[in-house]
Chain A
Amino acid sequence: MKFRSMLAALAVLVLGAAQAQEPIRIGSFLAVTGGAAFLGDPEQKTLELYVERLNAAGGVLGRKLQLIVYDSAGDAEKARTFAKRLIEQDKVDVIVGGSTTGETMAMVPLVEAAGVPFISLAGAVVIVEPVKKWVFKTPHSDRQACERIFVDMKARGATKVALISGAGGFDKSMRAQCLQVAKNHGIEIVADEAYGTGDTDMTAQLTKIKNTPGVQAVLNVGFGQSPAIVTKNHKQLGISQPLYQSHGVASKAFIKLAGDAAEGVRLPAAALLVAETLPDSDPQKKVVLGYKREYEARFKSEISTFGGHAWDGLMLAVEAIRKAGSTDKAKVRDALESIRGFVGIDGVFNMSATDHVGLDISGLRMLEIRKGDWTLVK
């Protein structure tokens, strides 16, 4: 520990000599390795890329940005320790991070006690409901994804819906939300089937759904490989009712895995996936396309919506610091809460004292898979 503190002291000395003014410290902990690495990896790349760009453009308030990222591997316990490190040791001005809901929820008590503005990149609605003073988040909550799906189902005249879901944290949280908001949208859940993580065949559950009278649409709430299997089984069983997936599968990998069976599947997703085909009048087009091009040019890999959450998190933090005119934590928090009409990757943010996400469901586009690619449903 002595060695570490000497190192830290040395680092402070070097930094102090290099620039007279203290940098603005942005702390982050992400699931860069482990099972949730597909979330943390694009998030980290995005943060690094844009901190670099912001610094090249002269920084914020005339001060450079300094990014401190720790790898939590998706482990809530580790995330909590790193959060403490960011707050106590690195003395960060704002925290942007937390790839998963578990990590985020484990550190909520810490940031609330310490009073540090925190923008989470995780999905579940429990993060911002009830509203916590210092906690914000950028992705649409799972409840909004349910609502977007139900709105589309209604538009197609389907009101009796069969639900099938997995056993992961994402699946369970979203399933609960869908069950809760169904009534408000005049949707009746007529079947509620579940499968385990790692199951390789969902024919049994889907057969049950097929035999349930009156089903007009099928909704799969899942993550990873399972949704691709559900999609294949759905086609194999010849179920004629349309299949909906969650925003959790919004990646090209899903289309590859599901193959032909993916044809006609609908899902809500951020505008990022259909950046090129957005109409020019779309307010998000410029931001989304810019991010997509810069990211793909730099990392030579396909964009993912998860990196977009990190872009929003970082830019909201920067916007709040600019608005507050300082890095005073209370002022930055107030500024965050008062952000209106901020065009991001996930949508247009309108924060308020009662809404710490600030997105409405219009930011979630309804996509249909046609000929192996995303198509915007008009």
Chain B
Amino acid sequence: MSGRTASLATLAGIVLLLPLALQNNYYYEVAIQVGLNAIVCVGLNLLIGYAGQISLGHAGFFGLGAYGSAILTARYGWPPLAALASATAGVAVLAYLIGRPILRLRGHYLAMATLGMGIIISIVIATEDRLTGGPDGMPVPALAAFGAALSGERVWYWVVGATLLAAVWLALNLVDSPHGRALRALHGSEVGAEVTGIDSARHKVKVFVISAVYAALAGSLTAHYAGFVTPAKVTFFHSIELVTMVVFGGMASTFGAVVGAAVLTVLPQALTVFKEYEMVVFGAVMMLTMIFMPRGLVPTLALTLSGRRLPR
């Protein structure tokens, strides 16, 4: 599909040209965080936006990825790439085992189950201080591959940029595959989807695992990039932050997820000029956007630009 290629090319163009506007390492730092958050959001959007299943526990998967990498490299001396792969694979298995029973739940019940899961992960990480360093966190060795250690914001920018592009490309392909169409059918009506022969449980679990893998991968990368992990990123509030990014950018829009992550990561940095009114302004921006653009930033803008009226 040419539309897909064109939008992916646009994103690639932005990633390639952005460094021209990045004056120093602080700007790179913010750009890298945008990228890492965007990777989680692209995955989460597959679950929330396309399949219509809510998850309030994705910070838990993010944290397991981060701490998995941290513990395997720092405590057991594993090579970072192997740790990253095993942590991500471990999270995939866990998501599958958890997903089977809890994805039978719907609506509020599913939200509560994922919420509970996230909180359990967060408590375990904060209390197992011998492994995780407890509430004060633990240092993580740098990501090294083939004898060279990755360090410096500029190098990391390209690593994160490339990973984001791959993540978006995979997500776009998935959405346009039979699996993606099945997910959208599920979103529309689970009963209707099952009547047309869609195995709803299988599809839901599959997308749940995929989105957990996205979060775990971003978690692992974050841990190695930052060189330090604390349980702050595993809390319930971070889960809410991630869901907010997806909804803000626009559900069922992969680019919406990227834009949502970008805006909500950059905004707090830009709003520091308001000093103590920072949170007030931040709240006002969120409220106004949701009042005037209830479908999220990207879908609303796309519709306005193409001159069409909102369907339904």
Complex: how many Å from CA A172 to CA B232? Answer: 17
21 contacts between A and B (CB under 8 A): A1-B270, A33-B279, A76-B230, A80-B226, A81-B26, A81-B33, A81-B269, A87-B26, A89-B26, A89-B27, A102-B135, A102-B136, A102-B137, A102-B230, A105-B136, A105-B139, A106-B137, A109-B139, A167-B135, A169-B134, A172-B136
Cβ-defined contact, A84 with B136, below 8 A: no
Which of chain A's residues have a CB closer than 8 A to the CB of B135? 102, 167-169, 172
Contact with B along A173-202 (1 / 0, CB 8 A): 100000000000000000000000000000
Given contacts A84-B25, A85-B26, A88-B25, contact A105 B137 (CB under 8 A): yes
Q: Measuring CB to CB, which residues of chain B are less than 8 angstroms from any residue of chain A?
A: 21-27, 29-30, 33, 126-127, 129, 134-137, 139, 226-228, 230, 232-233, 266, 269-270, 272-273, 278-279
Cβ-defined contact, B232 with A75, below 8 A: yes
Cβ-defined contact, B134 with A5, below 8 A: no
Given contacts A75-B232, A105-B228, contact A173 B26 (CB under 8 A): no
Given contacts A33-B279, A106-B230, contact A101 B136 (CB under 8 A): yes
Asked if A4 is at the interface of the complex by the 8 Å CB criterion, the answer is: yes
Complex: how many Å from CA A106 to CA B231? Answer: 12
Which of chain A's residues have a CB closer than 8 A to the CB of B137? 76, 102, 105-106
Asked if A61 is at the interface of the complex by the 8 Å CB criterion, the answer is: no
Which of chain B's residues have a CB closer than 8 A to the CB of A296? none
Which of chain B's residues have a CB closer than 8 A to the CB of A84? 25-26, 29
Complex: how many Å from CA A100 to CA B230? Answer: 12
Known pairs A70-B272, A126-B136 / 7 extra A-B pairs, C-beta < 8 Å: A33-B279, A76-B230, A81-B30, A81-B33, A88-B26, A89-B26, A109-B139
Cβ-defined contact, A1 with B24, below 8 A: no
Considering residues B22, B129, B278, B279, which has the most beta carbons from chain A within 10 angstroms of its beta carbon? B129
Which of chain A's residues have a CB closer than 8 A to the CB of B27? 1, 89
Cβ-defined contact, B23 with A5, below 8 A: yes
Asked if A124 is at the interface of the complex by the 8 Å CB criterion, the answer is: yes
Cβ-defined contact, B232 with A77, below 8 A: yes
Which of chain B's residues have a CB closer than 8 A to the CB of A54? none
Asked if A298 is at the interface of the complex by the 8 Å CB criterion, the answer is: no
**CB proximity of A68 to chain B, nearest CB, Å:** 9
Determine the main DSSP class of B at the interface with A.
Answer: helix
Which of chain A's residues have a CB closer than 8 A to the CB of B25? 84, 88
Which of chain A's residues have a CB closer than 8 A to the CB of B22? 1
Taking CB atoms and an 8 Å cut-off, the chain A residues in 1-26 that contact chain B are: 1-5, 7
**CB proximity of A81 to chain B, nearest CB, Å:** 6
Contact of B227 among A7, A109, A168, A172 (CB under 8 A): A109
Asked if A71 is at the interface of the complex by the 8 Å CB criterion, the answer is: yes
Cβ-defined contact, B29 with A81, below 8 A: yes
Considering residues A1, A2, A105, which has the most beta carbons from chain B within 10 angstroms of its beta carbon? A1
Complex: how many Å from CA A126 to CA B279? Answer: 33
Given contacts A89-B26, A105-B228, A106-B137, contact A1 B21 (CB under 8 A): yes
Residue in B closest to A7 when the chains form the complex, CB atoms = B273
Which of chain A's residues have a CB closer than 8 A to the CB of B129? 172
Complex: how many Å from CA A102 to CA B133? Answer: 10
Cβ-defined contact, B270 with A4, below 8 A: yes
Taking CB atoms and an 8 Å cut-off, the chain A residues in 73-128 that contact chain B are: 74-77, 80-81, 84-85, 87-89, 100-102, 105-106, 109, 124, 126
Which of chain A's residues have a CB closer than 8 A to the CB of B136? 100-102, 105, 124, 126, 169, 172-173
Contact with B along A20-43 (1 / 0, CB 8 A): 000000000000010000000000
Complex: how many Å from CA A140 to CA B269? Answer: 33
Contact of B228 among A7, A33, A80, A172 (CB under 8 A): A80
Cβ-defined contact, A85 with B226, below 8 A: no
**CB proximity of B21 to chain A, nearest CB, Å:** 6
Complex: how many Å from CA A74 to CA B232? Answer: 9
Which of chain B's residues have a CB closer than 8 A to the CB of A167? 126-127, 135
Cβ-defined contact, A106 with B226, below 8 A: yes
**CB proximity of A236 to chain B, nearest CB, Å:** 27
Which of chain B's residues have a CB closer than 8 A to the CB of A3? 270
Cβ-defined contact, A76 with B228, below 8 A: yes
